[in-house]
């Protein structure tokens, strides 16, 4: 059992570390996405270069990187339902600190969303709605990502009382998302953050 848990942890990290947006950009354009736009390895930065046609599949794949550990590797390793979130957090860490790209990566929003989708679908749905509303009203993906991440523990507490033991871990995930967006928060305060869909030179997007 211990051996399976170790394998599951390693695989969770490696799956999370797959640099999806980097590979798509490198394959299609021969360009390092780290040198384009915000330099961030997320679906939003890829969208600015290649459009929705590629950004949406990349975002869905990144969600899958979070869902796979909790839905497949967790049960295979014999982990209880609640303990599977640890594999999900490892996958998020892999996405943020990818061993394949000198420990650089995206901001973990889509991968973290996949973890929650696999464990508490209702909370994921609420967070997704919050994300969409904030993007629609403000145009800021960074603000929407922060709002959605912080909504996860709240939504889980009210919608899934039987999963309230996951709330501290979801709160940790939310804090991580806020920390990874600290540069965006500074730009939001200064009023220099780019709005989604508007191209601006030297003004990074959220993802």
pLDDT at 196: 75
In-domain check, residue 17: yes
Q: Cα–Cα distances in Å, from 5 out to 2, 72, 77, 79, 172?
A: 5, 12, 5, 8, 22
- Tokens 């995930």 locate to 173
Whole-angstrom CA distances from 85 to 99, 137, 140 are: 21, 32, 28
Confirm whether 204 is domain-assigned.
Answer: no
d(CA 146, CA 175): 9
CB 48 within 8 A of CB 199: yes
Q: Is residue 200 included in any domain, yes or no? A: no
195 inside domain:
no
pLDDT in tens, 68-102: 999 999 999 999 988 999 999 999 999 999 999 99
pLDDT number for residue 1 = 67
What's the whole-model pTM score? Answer: 0.89
Of the candidates 106, 105, 96, 115, the one whose C-alpha atom is nearest the C-alpha of residue 166 is 115
User: Within a domain: residue 93?
Assistant: yes
- What is the predicted pLDDT for the residue at 206? 41
Q: Is the pLDDT of residue 144 over 70?
A: yes
Residue environment code for 142-153, b if the CB has 16+ CB neighbours within 10 A, otherwise e: bbbbbbbbbbbb
Which residues constitute the domain of residue 7? Answer: 2-190
Q: CA angle 181-143-107, nearest 5°?
A: 35
3-state secondary structure 71-134: HHHHHHCCCCCCCHHHHHHHHHHHHHCEHHHCCECCCCHHHHHHHHHHHCHHHHHHHHHHHHHH
Q: Which two tokens stand for residue 159?
A: 């919608």
Q: Structural domain tally of the chain?
A: 1
3-state secondary structure of 161: helix
- Is the pLDDT at 197 greater than 70, yes or no? no
Kindly tell me if the per-residue pLDDT of 203 is higher than 60: no
């Amino acid at each position: 059992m211990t051996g399976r848990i170790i394998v599951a942890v390693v695989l969770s990290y490696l799956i999370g570390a797959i640099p999806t947006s980097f590979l798509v950009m490198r394959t299609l354009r021969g360009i390092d996405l780290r040198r384009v736009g915000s330099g961030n390895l997320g679906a939003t930065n890829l969208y600015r270069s290649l459009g929705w046609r590629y950004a949406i599949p990349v975002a869905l794949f990144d969600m899958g990187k979070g869902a796979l550990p909790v839905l497949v590797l967790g049960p295979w390793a014999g982990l209880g339902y609640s303990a599977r979130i640890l594999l999900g957090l490892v996958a998020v860490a892999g996405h943020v600190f990818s061993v394949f790209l000198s420990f650089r990566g995206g901001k973990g929003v889509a991968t973290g969303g996949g973890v929650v989708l696999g464990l508490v679908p209702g909370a994921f749905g609420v967070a997704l709605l919050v994300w969409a509303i904030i993007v629609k009203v403000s145009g800021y993906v960074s603000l929407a990502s922060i709002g959605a991440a912080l909504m996860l523990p709240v939504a889980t507490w009210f919608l899934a009382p039987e999963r309230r033991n996951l709330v501290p871990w979801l709160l940790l995930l939310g804090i991580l998302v806020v920390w990874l967006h600290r540069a965006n928060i500074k730009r939001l305060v200064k009023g220099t953050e780019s709005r989604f869909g508007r191209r601006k030179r030297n003004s990074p997007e959220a993802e």
